[in-house]
Structure 1
Amino acid sequence: MSKRKVKKTMTIILSCVGALLVIAFASLFVISGIFEQPKYLEPWQKTYSQKFDDPRIRLVAHGLLSSNGHNMQPWKIRLDKNNPKVFYLYADSDRLTSEVDPFARQMMVTQGTFLEYVKIAGDESGYQTAIELFPDGGYNEQKLSESMKTIPVAKITLTKTNPQSSVLYDFLFLPDTNRAAYQSTKLTSEQINQLEAINADTGLSMKIFQDKVNIDKLNGYAVQGASIEAGVDRVMKESETIFRANEYQKNKYRYGFSVEGQGTSGIMRHLTQGLVTLFPSTNSGKAASDLFIQSARTSVGNTPAYAMITTKDNSRTSQVKSGMLYSRLILAAHRLGFVMQPLSQVLEEYPEMKEPYSNIHRDYASDGGTIQMLVRLGEPTKEVPQSMRRDVMDMIVEE
């Protein structure tokens, strides 16, 4: 074969390969749902709440943006039919993550994060929010799931007042969690004082650590917790079942996990979603466990500071209050240019986590208190995308 024919043949082969690659990439984008309108992001728009005439629903639409365990958004709202300024918050027991949160502690913290967002949005909108926790009494802990259906976490009463511009309001619309690496810059003493000063509840304690001894110790606990969790099949399976692989699934369910959780965005998001949809095994079993551990190591290896919220007791009320404090911490940190990521694994209460759970409480809550939140804190190296949110009307239940 002449050199000219060989060259021509190679050109044809390369053209075919190139065409196949183009087709393959285009197929991944289509499978990912690149042309699908992301309805699951609509609640993040500042104008979203304005679509509703009822001020209660407007505030609930803000609460929907708050941090919540496993992005389950486990909130139900009952509007008082007799008083247009009253509504009730219930924990949605159909959204319990019982493997990772067997005693529903994280579930109750999540109720608190919601309430604080509602409170801040109320101030901005000209509604004072009076929040009464467990107005009908506490849960029957022996029948917890059933009790959650009938016992409200909070009664919220609105009083019309003059709008009060809140320095935290604009930060409600930023992602609450950033799992990427953080810059090595430490917090100043003034910044630490500002953050720790947001806690005014004597039953709660908030502390920021950034000295090497505590950073190394907390890094160890974070990695140990992640490693243990990655090895517990039933816990990993629970997370796997709420993973949304593509845009179609995200629009259908609008809660749970997705590739954005690891900071993947842009073209890479669609390529990854297409691959995960075609090959689900890449996001399950050993592959998922290894990725989870590696992500934890990378994150804690680039963490200049930790924040910890503890309570004197572990009552349901204290759990809710710690969530309210956590929301305020997130927003105050955003205002100072910081981001956060909760490291919940070592604080979880299933049997395999018993040893590190006991040890971290021995080291940081030796007075018998309970650590409710442990979070990374620092200046971001990159922005992360917003996560899925449900339609606010899906949370409203009829009496």
Structure 2
Amino acid sequence: MKHLSMKNLKKVLLGMFLVLITLLLVVFTAGGAFVKEKYLEPWDKSYSDKFEDKRIKLISNGILAASGHNMQPWIIKLDPNKDIFYLYANSDLLTKEVDPFARQTMITQGTFLEYIVVSGEHFGYKVNIDFFPKGQYDEQNLASSMKEKPVAKVSISEDKNEDSKLYDFMFLPDTNRESYEKASLTKEQLDTLLNLSNEDVKIKTFDDKNSLKQLGAYAMKGAEIEANIHRMNEESAKVFRVNEYEKNKYRYGYSFEGQNITGLKKYLMQGLITLIPSINSEKASSDIYINSTKTAVENTPAYGMVITKNNSRIEQVKSGMVYSSLVLNGHALGIAMQPLSQVLEEYTEMKEQYENFHKDYADKGDTIQMFFRVGKPTKEVPVSMRRDVMDFINK
């Protein structure tokens, strides 16, 4: 009897094991663990090789630039002149709750343009940018005006300048939300970043104890305010891609990688939420966001800001160009960055924080366009989704 009981126990354990394996396969399949990641194809350095049109070749690199909420709000119109294309802001991809005046969207146009400049240098082209060549937006009819008026006319000409030293860094993640080493940045690192300022856009850095404490408090307060506003969470949820199937379908927006969830844990989480959507509640998402911000703030050796004299559309675009330059030069220096844009968002609930932040850190009349943390990362992070370059071309 004892022998039979042991035999039965083994059968039960084997059955339980097979059930567990089956359940895991179901969960991982639902999460897309066995699906090809087409949304990562543009990150391959050989991706641009298949395009003969030099404009598309450069654009295929430009789309790797950082974009607010990873919306990639770029539309390209190719001119009959094969040396020219026009960049338009995609008004169908505005995030109107967190960015009601489309300031972040304009900054995102600039991040793209700077990557075009760097890509041009690599391929032996000089890139000339003419901002708002058909006039400024009608701010009272912003969305429709964006469809009519380009942000920039981009002209490409042959150039014999040396290859860009920043090109390879375009293929690294633009944002790292992980903990940074607590060691202070070196004078060389800080000077390199500060020297990227120009007559239109100024860069400031802060690494003293009092500034770290105060700026960390602003970052936390901004995150807490945004995380507890239902309409903000709804807007984010609409562009959250739950699994690999959705990532391949849309190829823009948020995903678990942005919450530092990778590897087998990512596929497990994706599968569970695909099968049981209620797991991904608004409160759970808010808690994850606030906790990740807290961890980031506690592990930040320096903060930076991108500031302009006013707040014109051109200044917003140029701010994005400077930020891309910061990111690429940061990679060259072995440091990473993460925007902390919440305290700069312009909606009613954030008004007091926005005004106090500017009062504390900006001269009268100046606009802080970007606020970010900077430091040497303790972990590598994955790149984020990108659409196929031809999806950006207006046909």
Same fold (TM over 0.5): yes
1:53 aligned residue? 52
Following superposition, the deviation at residue 7 of structure 1 comes to 3.5
Residue correspondence of structure 1 range 104-143 to structure 2 within 5 A: 104-143=102-141
1:275 aligns with 2:272: yes
1:70 aligns with 2:69: yes
Q: Measure, in 1, the Cα distance between the counterparts of 2:281 and 2:61.
A: 33
**CA contact 1:349–1:357 (8 Å) conserved in 2:** yes
Residue deviations 1:228-281, cap 9 Å, x none?
A: 001110011100010111111100000001111122222222112111212222
Match 1:253 to one of 237, 247, 250: 250
Question: Secondary structure of 1:385's partner?
Answer: coil
Q: Measure, in 2, the Cα distance between the counterparts of 1:115 and 1:371.
A: 20
Q: Which amino acid counterpart does residue 104 of structure 1 have in structure 2? A: A
Q: Measure, in 1, the Cα distance between the counterparts of 2:110 and 2:204.
A: 19
Question: Secondary structure of 1:234's partner?
Answer: helix
**CA contact 1:38–1:251 (8 Å) conserved in 2:** yes
1:397 aligned residue? 394
Question: Secondary structure of 2:216's partner?
Answer: helix
User: Structure 2: where are the runs of 5+ without partners?
Assistant: none
Q: Which amino acid counterpart does residue 19 of structure 2 have in structure 1? A: L
Q: Which amino acid counterpart does residue 70 of structure 1 have in structure 2? A: H
1:319 aligns with 2:316: yes
Q: Measure, in 2, the Cα distance between the counterparts of 1:58 and 1:165.
A: 16
Residue deviations 1:17-64, cap 9 Å, x none?
A: 222211111111111112211111010011111111100011111110
**CA contact 2:65–2:174 (8 Å) conserved in 1:** yes
Q: Measure, in 2, the Cα distance between the counterparts of 1:161 and 1:338.
A: 30
Following superposition, the deviation at residue 3 of structure 1 comes to 4.4
1:7 aligned residue? 6
Runs of 4+ in 1 over 6 A off after TM superposition: none
TM-score by length of 1: 0.97
1:30 aligned residue? 29
Q: How many residues align?
A: 395
Residue deviations 1:326-379, cap 9 Å, x none?
A: 000000000011111101111100111111111111100132211111111111
Following superposition, the deviation at residue 8 of structure 1 comes to 3.5
Q: Measure, in 1, the Cα distance between the counterparts of 2:386 and 2:147.
A: 22
1:196 aligned residue? 194
- Percentage identity across aligned positions? 54
**CA contact 2:222–2:343 (8 Å) conserved in 1:** yes
Residue deviations 1:93-116, cap 9 Å, x none?
A: 000000010000000000000000
1:182 aligned residue? 180
2:150 aligned residue? 152
Question: Secondary structure of 2:57's partner?
Answer: helix
Following superposition, the deviation at residue 163 of structure 1 comes to 5.2
Q: Which amino acid counterpart does residue 244 of structure 2 have in structure 1? A: E
Following superposition, the deviation at residue 66 of structure 1 comes to 0.1
Q: Which amino acid counterpart does residue 124 of structure 2 have in structure 1? A: G
Q: Measure, in 2, the Cα distance between the counterparts of 1:393 and 1:126.
A: 23
Q: Which amino acid counterpart does residue 29 of structure 1 have in structure 2? A: F
Residue deviations 1:111-168, cap 9 Å, x none?
A: 0000000000001101100001111110000000000001000001111122521111
Q: Measure, in 1, the Cα distance between the counterparts of 2:164 and 2:179.
A: 30
**CA contact 1:180–1:262 (8 Å) conserved in 2:** no
Q: Measure, in 1, the Cα distance between the counterparts of 2:93 and 2:29.
A: 31
Match 1:84 to one of 76, 82, 99: 82
Residue deviations 1:275-333, cap 9 Å, x none?
A: 12122223231111111111111111111111111111000000000000000000000
**CA contact 2:124–2:163 (8 Å) conserved in 1:** no
Residue deviations 1:195-251, cap 9 Å, x none?
A: 11122x222110111111001011101110010001110011100010111111100
**CA contact 2:39–2:247 (8 Å) conserved in 1:** yes
Q: Measure, in 2, the Cα distance between the counterparts of 1:92 and 1:76.
A: 6
Q: Which amino acid counterpart does residue 45 of structure 1 have in structure 2? A: D
1:286 aligns with 2:283: yes
Q: Which amino acid counterpart does residue 13 of structure 1 have in structure 2? A: V
Q: Measure, in 2, the Cα distance between the counterparts of 1:159 and 1:322.
A: 24
Q: Measure, in 1, the Cα distance between the counterparts of 2:267 and 2:39.
A: 16
1:225 aligned residue? 222
Q: Which amino acid counterpart does residue 225 of structure 1 have in structure 2? A: G
CA RMSD, Structure 1 to Structure 2 (Å)? 1.2
Q: Measure, in 2, the Cα distance between the counterparts of 1:183 and 1:285.
A: 31
1:366 aligned residue? 363
Question: Secondary structure of 1:108's partner?
Answer: helix
